[in-house]
Amino acid sequence: MPRKICVVESILNISAYRFVALNDTAQWRESIRSQAGRAGLKGTVLLADEGINLVLAGAEPGVRDFVQWLTAHESFAALPLKESWSSDVPFGKLLVKVKPEIIRMNHPTIRPQAGRAPAVDARTLARWLDAGVDDAGRQVVTLDTRNAFEVDHGRFKGAHDWRIDRFSDFPQALEQHRAELAGKTVVSYCTGGIRCEKAALLMAQAGVENVLQLEGGILHYFEEAGGKHFEGDCFVFDARRTLSDTLVPVPTA
């Protein structure tokens, strides 16, 4: 009989973001680069005046030590981490960068660090999608705020998909499609929550009523509700490419 090969998923992957006012991004860049490098981590950390966005991977002890160090600082104490496992580190190097925005929208009036958009948790959204309406009886629709090629790997069934090429296209797409959202409860979603948070704030500013973001995005939804109402897999921007609803890499053909 052929010998069964067991793949050990020993690499811990973390992703997180937090919109928080940062006045010392250059200093944070050096401190984070030093701590993450010492822990043997690879991936990307983006810093801006509006906050932090990170995806990192490495051996579990190093990841845990880095997280303990980072969250000991008041600015990042409430950092909501998402975890998954892989057999290899899906990043080639460590990058720590300072950017104008941690997720580029090119819309300076949208400032999540000054106040979050209202959110709905995964299990409540799953229940609403079961019924087709929210607790107030309004029709519930999901709105995918990701790039078109990401949506093609998987999305919520029946989600609005405006075929944008990059997130900075979202404001213009909203102008073109705003009327189709009228009278409905709109739940914006993305991979981990960062894009749908900005999108929800922009829609509210544009006069769309009853707008919510999906708390933690698709990855947190998979943790809490599995793949219910979701078709396909979730694209991620690393060597794993896509994750299933159990948060494991999907084998390529």
- 54 near 80, Cβ under 8 Å? no
CA distances from 76 to 145, 157, 192, 194 (A): 25, 34, 17, 15
SS3 state at 61: helix
User: Which residue from 85, 104, 65, 80 is spatially nearest to 16, judged by alpha carbons?
Assistant: 80
Report the DSSP beta bridge partners of residue 143. Answer: 160, 188
Is-contact 118 213, C-beta < 8 A?
yes
Q: In the chain, which ranges are continuous DSSP H helix?
A: 25-38, 60-71, 122-131, 148-151, 170-177, 194-205, 217-225
Cβ neighbourhood burial of 157 (10 Å; 0-12, 13-18, 19+): exposed
CA 171 to each of CA 48, 143, 168, 183, 211: distance values in angstroms, whole numbers, following the listed order = 21, 13, 7, 20, 15
User: Which residues are part of the catalytic machinery?
Assistant: 190
Q: Is the CB of residue 45 less than 8 Å from the CB of residue 54?
A: yes
